[in-house]
Amino acid sequence: MKHTTSIHALFLTLVFGLLSFLPSFAQTIVKNYEPGVSKDGIVYFLPKTAIDVTLTAAKISYMPGELCSYADRYMRLTDVSDKEDVHYELLSASVAYRALADETKCYHIAFNNNSIAPQVALSEEGTLLSICAGELFAMSSEEVNTPTTEARWEVKDARAYMTEEMLMATSKAKLAELVAREIYEIRESKNSLMRGESDYMPSDGEGLKLMIENLQNQEDALLKLFTGATTREITSKTFSYLPEGNTTKHIAARFSRKLGILDADDMAGAPIYLDVKNLNPNADPTTGLTPTVQKKQLTLTVRKNKKNPTKDNPNDSTNTKGKVNYYDGIVYNLPAKANVRVYTPNNVYVDETASIPQFGTTETLSAKLFGKKATTKVQLNPITGALLRIKE
């Protein structure tokens, strides 16, 4: 009886085990759409332009000197602080432009034995770069990296230049007196060398320069005991923005004297604004788009097979994405000029004109330029998708 029960349990275990594997065989595998070569042609995007705002700031750290309280008495320095301080200063703001694939501007070039058009170069994003231009034009637009650089100026240890008498001083007052005396002697030696009156004049100019530099290093290190040491760290951070229309006072980032460069949603800092305005006089003042772009939103033009629907019958059953727009040639961007400003209430860091394709329109190169015997070479701007060069 126990043996029968054991077999029954084993059978149920195997059944449930097999059932657990069934869903994996029934799963639907979904792959992301990627532009490029299909079995009947090449699919490409035109780019839209993102704006990358890079802010550069300095972190300034002050450490008071060991003898700061004697700075006025011995060195006649009146503005020396005895408190530590860390603050940030915004040094600059700059902009760069980066291409992204515009999914509303996707087109299909059908393979045709009588056409040279399929000889195209695409960027990594799938945007059209060139046609029949060879490797010279076949380069993708480079991503704008987020640069972060640091530069620190370290203060040399003053004790490396102290005399035995200084190191054995029993009070700060005595040490301050000895250090001040040494600084004045160093200055006197420098002056004697520069006037040519020293008893230890070097034989050549290079030797003189080296001696003066060494004396200056000693003076600077000892003087830091009175004035304190200041270090600077230079850092940069980049923030991206994709303009879809006219933009006024978009908060690209924030800045705090105490905290440095901050994200746009961090209310601890003051805003750094970005304005983008279409300069086309026919553009809608609210959206920043031209009337043609507003009336005609471009859609995917992938064809299912070689028997394509006609323009008069866009709802043919062979369509893969519903309504299809057809173009007799190669479509490229006609970007609009836009004013780009980066500013705070007190300073304007960037005020320039740039080409923004999503504010503009598109145009088409005739298919006749790409016949079988044609030698037409086309290069597009990798950032804006505008026609950069055409050669027959």
CA distances from 338 to 23, 95, 246, 360 (A): 54, 13, 9, 10
Query: What pLDDT does residue 245 have?
Result: 87
How would you write the pLDDT of the chain (392 residues) with one tens digit per residue? 444 445 454 444 444 444 444 444 344 333 344 555 565 677 889 999 999 999 999 999 999 999 999 999 999 999 999 999 999 999 999 999 999 999 888 887 776 655 554 577 888 888 888 877 764 444 434 433 333 334 344 446 788 888 899 999 999 999 999 999 999 999 999 999 888 888 778 878 888 899 999 999 999 999 999 999 999 999 999 999 999 889 999 999 999 999 999 999 999 999 999 999 999 877 777 666 666 544 343 333 333 333 444 443 333 333 333 333 445 678 899 999 999 999 999 999 999 999 999 999 888 887 777 666 667 788 899 999 998 888 77
What 3-state class would DSSP assign to 169? Answer: coil
Q: Cα–Cα distance between 91 and 209 in angstroms, integer?
A: 33
Write out the two tokens for 367.
């298919």
Q: CA–CA distance from 245 to each of 250, 336, 353, 359 (Å)?
A: 12, 11, 15, 7
pLDDT at 31: 38
Backbone angles phi, psi at 36, to 5 degrees: 140, -145
For residues 141 and 125, what is the distance between their CA atoms, to the nearest angstrom? 9
How much is the pLDDT for 11?
Answer: 45
**Burial environment of residue 330 by CB neighbours within 10 A (0 to 12, 13 to 18, 19 or more):** buried
Q: What is the pLDDT of residue 174?
A: 94
Q: What per-residue confidence (pLDDT) applies to 373?
A: 65
